[in-house]
Amino acid sequence: MKTPVSVLCPAPLREDLPDVLVNALNDVTAVPDWLDAEDTLPASLVLAVTRDGLELRDHRLKKPLTTRVDFVTGAKAHRRKFGGGKSQAIAKAVGVNKARGITVLDATAGMGGDAFVLATLGCSVRMCERSPTVRAMLADGLHRARMYSAEADAELFEILSRMELVAVDSLVHLQSDFSDVPQVVYLDPMFPARKKSAEVKKDMQLFHDLVGADADADGLLEPALALASHRVVVKRPKIAPFLAGQAPGYQLEGKAGRFDIYPLKAFAETAKTD
């Protein structure tokens, strides 16, 4: 069951919000008006608008947990600089070791981590995220990173230019008419968290509570296979069954998870990199 979310946005901040965030925040909550003070919040999860961007706050813990999407600093920035490049499993799964400029539809974008890695590797990535709250956080992270990088980091700005977020449900988008069919459809559906709380990071548990179970995740595979021109890649925990019970053409396994690859067409030999 999904945990309800309230939007906290003090009135002085509302006039400065860009339209992309206003539209994203309007999709998050059924509360008619955004709230001004935290002591009036009816929910335990709060999406707070601050001068530094959106942050999700979990007030169910003794020490509130706070998380945000950040492409400039932290783990995403570290992985961009030191992540291993084309030797990464995700790069091989998508086919970056075989072709340049691969187009990817990330139909389960989440906080944008994998999409950012793929864009760093030269892919053009369109992102879908069904949770309005997560989508708002992702839109905010992209907006802040673009504003910063336009002035201070040309390399990051170029990477972000290869990332596009669309405000539509993944299943609907997969079945849309495409003028530019993606070469790869990438799926990373939510898998139930393990029972022992010590085994689950608090921020990941928060994400599970926010998004809920992807009970209809199996329904993504068939339209993904119908849409992609070259392959479908499914990211799964090691213990997870095949999506929709359909065995992949082959797998790439890591320490904690695996990539199930459903090949449809080989990448052109002329597109190989050195």
Q: pLDDT by residue (tens digit) across 50-69?
A: 988 999 988 777 777 888 99
As a whole-number percent, the residues of the chain with pLDDT over 70 amount to 83
pLDDT of residue 161: 97
Please give the domain boundaries of the chain with CATH numbers for all domains: 5-67 (no CATH), 74-271 (3.40.50.150)
Q: Is 129 known as a binding-site position?
A: yes
Beta strands 124-128 and 5-8: pairing type? unpaired
**What average pLDDT score do residues 9-38 get?**
79
Higher pLDDT, 143 or 212: 143
Tokens 């390399």: give the residue.
Answer: 155
Answer whether residue 219 shows pLDDT above 90: yes
pLDDT of residue 30: 55
Q: Is 188 known as a binding-site position?
A: yes
Tell me the β-bridge partners of 100.
none
